Amino acid sequence: MQHIIEKVLTQIESVVLGKPRECRLALACLLAKGHLLIEDLPGMGKTTLAHQLAISLGLSYQRTQFTSDLLPSDVIGVSIFNQDTKTFELHKGPVFNQVVLGDEINRASPKTQSALLEAMAENQVSIDGVTYDLPTPFFVIATQNPLFHSGTYPLPESQLDRFMMRLSLGFPDLKAEKKILQGSDDTITGEHPNVLNSEQLIEMQQAVQNITVSSDVIDYVIALCQVSRYQFMDDKKLPQNKAVLSSGLQCAPLSPRAGKSLLAAAKAWAYIDDRDYVLPDDIQAVFYEVCQHRLEPQQYQNTAGSSSAAKQILGLVDVLNPLAY
Amino acid sequence: MKITHLFNKLLVKQAVSKPKFYLTRSNAWLLWLSQLLNIALLGFELAYWMLAIILLCFCLQALRIQQNVKPDHPNPVNSQLNWLALKTVSPMVLLIFALLGCIAIAVTAKSFGILISMIHLLSFSYILKAFELRSRKDFYQLILLGFFVLASSLIFTQNLYFSILAFAVLMINLLVLLQYFSPSNRVFKNSKLQFLLLAQSSVLAVLLFLFFPRLSPFWQVPLAKSAQTGLSATVQPGDIAKLARSSELAFRVEFSEDTIPAYSQLYWRALVLDKYDGRKWSKSNEKNIWGLALFQKELKGLETLASDEAISYRVTVEPSFQPWLFALPVARTAETGIDLLPDYTLKSKRIVSQTQSYSVTSYVNQAKLRPLTKTEQRINLSYPVGSNPKLEALGAQLREQFQSPQDRALAVLTRFNELNYYYTLEPPLLVNNSLDQFFFDTKAGFCSHYASAFTFLMRSAGVPSRMVTGYMGGEINRLNAKGGSKGHLNIYQYDAHAWSEIWLKGIGWVRYDPTASVDPSRVNQGFSERLAEQRDNLDNNFFSLQSFKHFAWINNLRLTLDLLDYQWTKLVIGYSAQKQYELIKRWFGQVQSWTFGLIMVSSIVLVLLLLFFINIYLSKVRIKAKERTPWGALYSKSLTLLTKKGLTKSPDETVNHFAKQVALKFPKISKTFYKLSHLFNQLNYQQISHEQQLVLLSKMKNEFKSLNQQVNKLSYKN
Minimal CA separation from A206 to chain B, in Å: 18
Give B284-339 pLDDT, tens digit per residue: 876 777 777 777 777 777 666 666 667 888 898 888 888 888 988 878 887 888 88
Q: How high is the mean pLDDT of chain A?
A: 82
Q: Which residues of A touch B655 (CB under 8 A)?
A: 279-281, 319-320
Of A219, A319, A323, which to mutate for an interface test with B (greatest number of B Cβ within 10 Å)? A319
Percent residues over pLDDT 70 in chain A: 86
Which pLDDT does position B166 carry in this prediction? 94
A211-316 fold = Helicase, Ruva Protein; domain 3 (1.10.8)
Residue B437 has pLDDT above 50, yes or no: yes
ipTM of the complex, rounded to two decimals: 0.85
Would the CB atoms of A241 and B185 count as touching at under 8 Å?
Answer: yes
Q: Which residues of B touch A243 (CB under 8 A)?
A: 78, 80-81, 184-186
**Bridge partners, residue B472, by sequence:** B267
Q: Which residues of B touch A247 (CB under 8 A)?
A: 80
Of A218, A278, A320, which to mutate for an interface test with B (greatest number of B Cβ within 10 Å)? A320
Which pLDDT does position B112 carry in this prediction? 81
Give A238-252 pLDDT, tens digit per residue: 655 544 444 456 678
Give B413-436 pLDDT, tens digit per residue: 888 888 888 888 777 877 777 788
Q: Start-end ranges of CATH 3.40.50.300 in chain A?
A: 2-197
Annotated catalytic sites of B, by residue? Answer: 447, 497, 513
Tell me which CATH code domain A2-197 carries. 3.40.50.300
Give B54-72 pLDDT, tens digit per residue: 999 999 888 888 877 666 5
B452 burial type by CB count under 10 A (0-12 exposed, 13-18 middle, 19+ buried) = buried
A72: Cβ–Cβ under 8 A, 6 or more apart, which residues?
A111, A112, A115
Give B185-200 pLDDT, tens digit per residue: 778 888 888 888 888 8
Which pLDDT does position A24 carry in this prediction? 92
**Chain A residue at shortest CA distance from B651:** A318
Would the CB atoms of A241 and B184 count as touching at under 8 Å?
Answer: yes
Q: Start-end ranges of CATH 1.10.8.80 in chain A?
A: 211-316
Number of CB pairs < 8 Å for A and B? 71
Would the CB atoms of B77 and A216 count as touching at under 8 Å?
Answer: no
Of the candidates A305, A291, A308, A304, the residue with the CA atom closest to the CA atom of residue A221? A291
Residue B542 has pLDDT above 50, yes or no: no
Which pLDDT does position A306 carry in this prediction? 43
Give B101-155 pLDDT, tens digit per residue: 999 999 988 888 888 888 999 999 999 998 888 778 889 999 999 999 999 998 8
Minimal CA separation from B636 to chain A, in Å: 10
Would the CB atoms of A279 and B76 count as touching at under 8 Å?
Answer: no
Minimal CA separation from B131 to chain A, in Å: 29
> Cβ(A142)–Cβ(A36) under 8 Å?
yes
Which pLDDT does position B76 carry in this prediction? 45
B553 against B317, higher pLDDT: B317
Minimal CA separation from B686 to chain A, in Å: 5
* pLDDT band (50, 70, 90) for residue B15: very low
